[in-house]
Amino acid sequence: MDGTVTDSKTRIPLEGVTVVIKGTTNSTLTDANGHFTLKTGQKFPFTVSLSYVGYKPVEAEATGTALSIELTATEQALNDVVVVAYGTQKKITLTNAVSQIGGAELTKRPVSNIQQSLQGQLPGVTVLDQGGSPGNAAATIRVRGVTTFNTNATSGTSGFDLSKNDALVIVDGSEQRLTDLNPNDIETITVLKDAASTAIYGSRATNGVILVTTRAAKKGKAQVNYDGYYALQKAINRPVQMGIEDYMNEQQVAYSNAGLVVPAKFSDSSIQVWVNATDRYKYPLPNTWFTTLLRTAPQTSHSIAVSGGSDIIRSRLSLRYQDQAGIIKNYGNKIAEIRLNTDYNAAKNLSFNANIDYRYNYIFQPTVDPINNFFHGSMWAVPKYPNGTYGLSTQGNNPLMFDEIGGQTQTRYDYFTGAIQGNWIIFKSLSFTSFFSGRAYFTQGKAFANAYINKDSITGIVKTVANNTLTETRNNLREYTWNNLLTYQQAFGKHHLKVLAGYSQIDNVQTYLSAYRERFYNNDIQSIGQGTNDPTKSNSGYDASFALRSYFGRINYDFDGKYLLEVNGRRDGSSKFTGAKQYGFFPSFSAGWVLSEEDFFSSVKPVVQDLKVRGSYGRTGNQSVDLYSYYASLTLAGYDFGGQSVNGYRQTTLANKELGWESTDQLDIGLDAAAFDRRLNFTVDYYRKVTNDILLNLNIPATVGLIAPFQNAGSVENKGWEFSVNYTSPRGNTDGFHYTVGGYLAVNSNKVLDLKGTGPYITGSDIDPRYIIAKGLPINTLWGYKTDGLFQSREEIDKYKATYAANTKPGDVKYVDTNNDGKIDASDMTVIGNSFPKYTFGLNSTLTYKNFDVSVLFQGAAKVDTRLAGALAEMGNQEGFTHEIYAGNYWTPENTNARFPRPVKYDLRNVATSDRLVCRGDYVRLKNVQLAYSIPASLLKNARIERLRFYVSATNLFTISKLNEWNLDPETPSGRAVYFPQTAVYTLGVNLQF
Amino acid sequence: MALTFSSKQINLPLKIIFMKNKFLIYLFIFASAAAVTSCSKDLLDTVPNDRLSENLFWKTQSDAEVAVNSLYRDLDGQNVFAWDAFTDIAHVNQPFAVDAYIALGTYDAKSSKVLSEWSNAYTGIAAANYFLQNAVNIPVITDTASFSRYKAEARFLRAYQYVKLTSLYGAVPLTTSPLSITDARQLKRATLKEVYDFIDAELTAVAPELPLTYTGANIGRATRGAAWSLKARADLYAGRYADAAVAAKAVIDLNTYSLYPEYKNLFTYKTENNSEVILDKQFIASVYSNSVFNLLGPYSQKSSQSTYVPTRAGVDIYQTASGLDINDPSSGYDAVNPYISRDSRLGFSVYLDGDILPDGSVFHPAPNSGTPDAVGNTYIASTTGFNIKKYINAEDLANPSNNGINIILIRYAEVLLTYAEAKIEANSIDQSVYDAINTVRNTRADVKLPSIANNLSQAELRSAVRRERTVELAFEGLHLQDIRRWKTAEKVVPGPVYGITYKDNGATKIIQVAVNRVFDAGKHYLWPIPQTERDQDPDLEQNPGW
């Protein structure tokens, strides 16, 4: 028998398609003309199966006549269906800036959350993966920059609060957390970036929308998928302490430079004793915590999914168990999850989907964070004596002791999500969908701090924690979402019209309760009722609720698939606002022109198959404002008289009834192209978005005497470019070599346009990063002194005059007197760095050869800065970790060409916030590399296994960055580096399907 | 109705749709739409139940009582301890603390300390104004006497804030009713005279409304004595010496107050609310607490912070037991053993070498003494080798950051010395001046300094009363205002800070802290108006020199 195989769309013959007679091993490949011949003795009719990478497999019945078979590509970019708000759309008719990624891309590397797996994959989506302890992974997603900020940041060390820049995450129709979702349950993740695609989410859409679709069941006999891996995690940033001799000599210099008595410990003779000592209990090393506490830790994951069903009912059940141990003992995270997705076709025109997800998450960590003490206040402490007691620093610290006997904090989360959706096709062109979901999150926290006494058996320093304490917390959240959609779709000749009208409401209730007791009988009795029942016990709590009611609509129109138009609108009402400000309207418009469908394009068509230009403009909102901000109220503020507590009430915050929505206007112009048989796809977008009426706690005169309310003030602009390109190699050679390569580059510039005459807002101090928010500068710009090297002589200092410290000496930092007023003070501070990367990029490639496939992912950022602080910056001047980079590299009269200034004990003159402490944070890293081998199908047939694939992968294998010399991770934020260390993960995994 | 469907309610109609006909489907849609409309009013109308609406308040007399109670929270508490650290007698121990920039003279109008004292004071003023504006609208007053007292308390507490504000910043904006943001952006500074006239008038008006004393769960409220005492302080600051003397005399003549016999125990739990206390900030551990032990205690005491520590200058001002200054050759001062045979108040106010600490250990601050308190052991330990002893109570050792000790804001000794100083400055010196000073010097059981010599000149008396005031009230937060109004700050503040005398291989050495204080007489006598205030209100003029 024989036949020909072509591409269903282009009619181009396909070479190298595998043709197998079903039930046999008799197979062949098509030739360059797509032709195949099979010699067989088998009687007609019989079935042949055809398979080809990138195409849907097909079965055909051979009856003796030549077969003409068409294969449909599975990944033809411009014909893909893309998930959009409240529906799907063909990519070719899309007029919006949308990025989509399939679930398979997300499961390539083991990650502790989905945010991390999105890193380096999508242009315009900046993921900052800051590591984080198990279960508390600190990965933030920013879609096209940061648009808003909070000026009432209470933390002086981390800059302004940017948490209101989090994208809206919609999982299967209702708002949910992205964290901890099972990657194996995800079909696609779509990021809506421009206003045209997000405006239909109205008041919650300013920061972009991430749509997650979970996997639905497939028709057919039951299919079982198992995905599992075993991984080892290893810390990749381990700062190295200066060697003992260098360190002690440096201390001697630092004390002398400060004019202080050099302690006996740092006298020359003592240094010799310490250096030559072999008894490191009596003469401990200065700081060993990065080697003592960090370990290699395992992470395992098992995920099983069973799916199948009939035309009437289909179900997919998935189970997952994940266990991540910490690279520091006593940290860990366990997740158990079950999900059931069911589709039910009740009648020809009526169907239902029901999704149920239950997830249990257990996170534990030491109650006393040991990591801060890796750097600070833990010098010279013996980690542990042979008798099991701990050494103590002068300050009574020992991170190992805190970790091992300080007590455990445990958090248990129960997440329950249930949703049901009914779809009713009223007429062929009109359908109605009603969706109802409820989610309930229960969080139970238990932070127990042990009581203990530890005496350093050599120094005699005692650490006493007299009372054990327990803080229990309960946080319950319930949220209901109800969406109703009416969709009308009709073609009138070449006019295609699609209209969507919808209604949505959300009701959210949250309660929080906490209780505290202390002095339990011993550290093992950890039940709240067992704590001492006296006035030290306390409890607290709050209730909060908000609701959202929205009406929205969308019209898609296209003429002949060439001219595309879309209009969106949403009217949103929020309980967070009152009166006339309660409702906001968020419209958007977009249009596209598919040039490649025009007649004049036909001459180019053999090379460029698709070319589309599109543009959009629209408005979205942000309702992230504290609840009841408009509400004038009095809060409990008691006092006491004569030893008795009395009630008191007072007004603390000024109410602002005029409070309204933050809104973002965004323009997007884009171009999508596909060439070389659509193997090369290219997309470019330019955007400019301006966020107005930012909800700020603007400074109000302190004479008002109340805390500032949120006010609508301030504007921020983000603009930038996004380029992405993908190439899939031609195939057909019988050697099976095939590759794809893709990359993106995103450029973002952020600028505060207006603060209504207030500001600048500055946080931080001389010993922590200073950030500024000021008109004309990016949000959270690093702020401080410029410097001009080191003073080299008395004459130079006298001539320069402007000094930071009164008795400046050679070897001190020469701060620039930017305003030329003859002194160095806060008014000389200026821009010294950029805390949000201007450029982010990713490069992704997969190579397939026979049964092997290799994928690599590079990812990085540029034009970003990191400010060192705390012990890393203090160069041993205080009582912290001292990096080896300073060794022999600080100014002395003999070493005037040194990189670092002279150390001065207990003095800040040389370590004030300045450009000297700012490092370039640019980096490129090999985020992931994976090598996989699939057992050939022919070998699996007898075992009734459809697919068996083994892989090894490694993440964060290497990084090119200026911060490497500090052993710091470039993705970590400015500051004291007291975060949980970033890890490299080495994985062995298996995918099994039968 | 709020949206609280059970899934059962949703499923049921759908099931009917499935089984029956299209009519029911339309019915369902219609019903849904109706449900939406019917609950539309409620859904977005979420009302917080974790706070009290303004509309529900100001209805009963008890609302007025609880509102006035909360005003006491705005009284100064342990923030007063910072102020003496900006003078010659104490030092901000950690060079990177916000307060250190003030002490060193390197601060400016952007200093967060400069802003926080300003805004805390105006918070108290606004709260009092809010009370006074709203309390009068309470429809039914059942006990008019108490109600007038509440108003008098609020006005007293507001006057307290103005005394503090004007002493730190000079003439400040005078506000007597709640301000909108727009009002606040157009405020102007009153004149110094207007501010002091206001304080005088208010305190004069409220004093008769306030009772002499309280009992039980009212102890700690503003009294008539407190009103007169505060007026005496304000008039002294204002240079209205005759008025100050009259006000102070009024307190003395109340015969309500006397010096507590044991200076040693003046700042302890067992003597709270004693006969000397005129106004204090009241605390209860675990309920409304402070952390003075942790703030001031020596490092060896549960890693307490030694935030502000006495300087050598602050110690040297104490006379010897013979009642003479230490630089007087006949005083008996021993430079090698400087702490023996001194005014007993030194040992009651400052931790000295050899003192027993709350945990029973011995205080040894000398460098290389091997104890946690040794100078240089850690940057947290006192860099002068002295620690403040006032308010450090062994009861607080268990929970150094959860203390219930009341912090005294006005005590009778201050009133006596104000009286004496006002009379001296007004040059109406009589025996009552000597009596006032000598009462402080030797009527307590544990303070027995010889009386000052009789027939001193005005200048001699001035220096006597100044020294007495500095010593008696040391580290309690009054010395900053004293050196400002005496105009001595420019002489006593600048230069290095010295600490303890200690022996090093037989040699006697004195600790010198590696700082160099600056005091610019052209501007440092007043703090600048906070920059953020002036940014928002250009009409607020800055103080000279800033």
SS3 A831: strand
Provide the pLDDT for residue A569.
Answer: 93
Put simply, whether B126 touches A (Cβ < 8 Å) is yes
Cβ of A702 within 8 Å of Cβ of B530? The answer is: yes
Average pLDDT over residues B385-414: 96
Distance from CA of A772 to the nearest CA of B (A): 14
Distance from CA of B228 to the nearest CA of A (A): 21
Please report which helix (H) or strand (E) contains residue A69, including its range: strand A67-71
Check whether A832 has a pLDDT greater than 60. Answer: yes
Task: Show the tokens assigned to A951.
Answer: 């892989």
Q: What single-letter amino acid sits at B417? A: L
Q: If we measure between CA atoms, which residue out of B168, B411, B177, B396 comes closest to residue B302?
A: B396
Q: Measured between alpha carbons, how far is A107 from A301 in angstroms, rounded to an integer?
A: 11
Q: What single-letter amino acid sits at B306? A: S
Cβ of A706 within 8 Å of Cβ of B123? The answer is: yes
Provide the pLDDT for residue B530.
Answer: 95
pLDDT tier, A758 (very low <50, low <70, confident <90, very high otherwise): confident
For residue A855, give Cα distances in angstroms to A952, B31, B276. 11, 54, 81
Q: Measured between alpha carbons, how far is A390 from A456 in angstroms, rounded to an integer?
A: 6
Provide the pLDDT for residue A138.
Answer: 65
pLDDT tier, A105 (very low <50, low <70, confident <90, very high otherwise): confident
Residues 153-192 of B with CB under 8 A from A: 173, 175, 178-181, 184-185, 187
Backbone angles phi, psi at A745, to 5 degrees: -140, 130
Provide the pLDDT for residue A77.
Answer: 41
Residue of B nearest to A757 (CA): B536
Put simply, whether B20 touches A (Cβ < 8 Å) is no
Neighbours of B134 (CB within 10 A): 17
Please report which helix (H) or strand (E) contains residue B176, including its range: none
Q: If we measure between CA atoms, which residue out of A403, A437, A401 comes closest to residue A422?
A: A437
Q: Measured between alpha carbons, how far is B265 from B444 in angstroms, rounded to an integer?
A: 11
Measured between beta carbons, the chain B residues lying within 8 angstroms of A632 are: 53-55
List Cβ<8 Å contacts ≥24 apart for A291-296: A291/A238, A292/A383, A292/A400, A293/A328, A293/A329, A293/A370, A293/A374, A293/A399, A293/A400, A293/A403, A294/A235, A294/A238, A294/A327, A294/A328, A294/A981, A295/A327, A295/A328, A295/A329, A296/A232, A296/A233, A296/A234, A296/A327
pLDDT tier, A397 (very low <50, low <70, confident <90, very high otherwise): very high
Considering only CA atoms, give the Rg of chain B: 29
Check whether B19 has a pLDDT greater than 60. Answer: no
More confident residue, A261 or A665: A665
Task: Show the tokens assigned to A568.
Answer: 């969106």
Q: If we measure between CA atoms, which residue out of A607, A177, A642, A173 comes closest to residue A421?
A: A173
Average pLDDT over residues A126-155: 72
Neighbours of A903 (CB within 10 A): 27
Span A685-731, pLDDT tens digits: 999 999 998 887 778 899 999 988 888 888 999 999 999 999 988 86
Check whether A84 has a pLDDT greater than 90. Answer: no
Provide the pLDDT for residue A127.
Answer: 80
Distance from CA of B169 to the nearest CA of A (A): 14
Provide the pLDDT for residue B29.
Answer: 55
Check whether B28 has a pLDDT greater than 70. Answer: no
Candidate from B3, B57, B106 with C-beta closest to A480? B3
Mean pLDDT, chain B, as a whole number? 91
Span A854-875, pLDDT tens digits: 989 999 999 999 999 999 999 9
Cβ of A432 within 8 Å of Cβ of B273? The answer is: no
Residues 433-472 of B with CB under 8 A from A: none
Put simply, whether B246 touches A (Cβ < 8 Å) is no
Measured between beta carbons, the chain A residues lying within 8 angstroms of B533 are: 701-703
Residue of A nearest to B9 (CA): A436
Residue of A nearest to B45 (CA): A575
Contact status, residue A624 vs residue A164, Cβ threshold 8 Å: yes
Check whether B200 has a pLDDT greater than 60. Answer: yes
Task: Show the tokens assigned to A756.
Answer: 């209504």
Measured between beta carbons, the chain B residues lying within 8 angstroms of A352 are: 14
Q: Measured between alpha carbons, how far is A355 from A420 in angstroms, rounded to an integer?
A: 6
Q: How many beta-carbon pairs below 8 A join chains A and B?
A: 264
Residue of B nearest to A156 (CA): B112
Least confident of A5-9, A716-720, B301-305, B348-352: A5-9
Q: If we measure between CA atoms, which residue out of A167, A193, A148, A162 comes closest to residue A693?
A: A148
Measured between beta carbons, the chain B residues lying within 8 angstroms of A703 are: 122, 126, 173, 175, 179, 184, 187, 533, 537
Q: What single-letter amino acid sits at A795? A: E
Average pLDDT over residues A471-487: 94
Put simply, whether B507 touches A (Cβ < 8 Å) is no
Contact status, residue A499 vs residue A485, Cβ threshold 8 Å: no
Q: Measured between alpha carbons, how far is B238 from B167 in angstroms, rounded to an integer?
A: 9
ipTM: 0.87
Residue of B nearest to A803 (CA): B106
Please report which helix (H) or strand (E) contains residue B361, including its range: none
Average pLDDT over residues A47-55: 74
Q: If we measure between CA atoms, which residue out of A857, A991, A985 comes closest to residue A932?
A: A991
Provide the pLDDT for residue B34.
Answer: 47
Cβ of B17 within 8 Å of Cβ of A264? The answer is: no
Cβ of A544 within 8 Å of Cβ of B72? The answer is: no
Largest CA distance in chain B: 115
Backbone angles phi, psi at A576, to 5 degrees: -75, -10
Please report which helix (H) or strand (E) contains residue B181, including its range: helix B181-184
- H helices of A118-232, in order, are 195-198
Span A576-588, pLDDT tens digits: 888 888 899 999 9
Span A227-251, pLDDT tens digits: 999 999 999 889 999 999 999 999 9
Mean pLDDT, chain A, as a whole number? 88
Contact status, residue A708 vs residue A699, Cβ threshold 8 Å: yes
pLDDT tier, B22 (very low <50, low <70, confident <90, very high otherwise): low
ω into residue B139 within 30 of 0, thus cis? no
The pTM of the full predicted model, rounded to 2 decimals, is 0.82
Least confident of A33-37, B305-309, B466-470: A33-37
Only one residue has tokens 């965004």, namely A666
- H helices of A321-398, in order, are 372-375
Neighbours of B294 (CB within 10 A): 21
pLDDT tier, B484 (very low <50, low <70, confident <90, very high otherwise): very high
Measured between beta carbons, the chain A residues lying within 8 angstroms of B11 are: 420
Task: Show the tokens assigned to B423.
Answer: 């009379």
ω into residue A535 within 30 of 0, thus cis? no
For residue B462, give Cα distances in angstroms to A59, A718, B321, B499. 111, 66, 21, 27
Cβ of A535 within 8 Å of Cβ of B124? The answer is: no
SS3 B150: helix
Report helix angle B112-135 to B61-71, nearest 10.
Answer: 160
Tell me what percent of the residues of chain B surpass a pLDDT of 70: 92
pLDDT tier, A733 (very low <50, low <70, confident <90, very high otherwise): low
Provide the pLDDT for residue B440.
Answer: 97
SS3 A397: coil
Least confident of A178-187, A977-986, B271-280, B443-452: A178-187
Distance from CA of A581 to the nearest CA of B (A): 12
pLDDT tier, A73 (very low <50, low <70, confident <90, very high otherwise): low
One-character DSSP codes across B293-310: HHHHS-TTTTT----EEE
Contact status, residue B351 vs residue B371, Cβ threshold 8 Å: no
Cβ of A547 within 8 Å of Cβ of B43? The answer is: yes
How far out from the chain centre does Cα A547 lie? 27
Q: What single-letter amino acid sits at B503? A: K
More confident residue, B546 or A4: B546
Residue of A nearest to B109 (CA): A826
Q: If we measure between CA atoms, which residue out of A348, A328, A116 comes closest to residue A233?
A: A328
Cβ of A264 within 8 Å of Cβ of B368? The answer is: yes
More confident residue, A73 or B311: B311
A893 class by beta-carbon count within 10 Å (0-12 exposed, 13-18 middle, 19+ buried): exposed
Provide the pLDDT for residue A112.
Answer: 64
CA–CA–CA angle B79, B84, B87 (5° rounding): 140
Count of alpha carbons within 13 angstroms of residue A743, beta-carbon side: 10
Task: Show the tokens assigned to A285.
Answer: 């090393």
Alpha-carbon dihedral sign for residues A591, A594, A600, A601: positive
Neighbours of B453 (CB within 10 A): 11
Average pLDDT over residues A802-807: 84
Q: Are strands A452-455 and A462-465 parallel, antiparallel or unpaired?
A: antiparallel
Tell me what percent of the residues of chain A surpass a pLDDT of 90: 54
CA–CA–CA angle A83, A140, A779 (5° rounding): 110
Provide the pLDDT for residue B438.
Answer: 97
Put simply, whether B16 touches A (Cβ < 8 Å) is no
Average pLDDT over residues A373-377: 92
Residue of A nearest to B40 (CA): A549
Cβ of A503 within 8 Å of Cβ of B36? The answer is: yes
Provide the pLDDT for residue A938.
Answer: 81
Task: Show the tokens assigned to A992.
Answer: 């099994």
Put simply, whether B115 touches A (Cβ < 8 Å) is yes
Q: Measured between alpha carbons, how far is A107 from A117 in angstroms, rounded to an integer?
A: 8
Span B471-480, pLDDT tens digits: 999 999 999 9
Per-residue b or e along B329-361, where b marks 16 or more CB atoms closer than 10 Å to that residue's CB: eebebeeeebbeebbbbbbbbbbbbebebbeee
Task: Show the tokens assigned to B461.
Answer: 């008396």
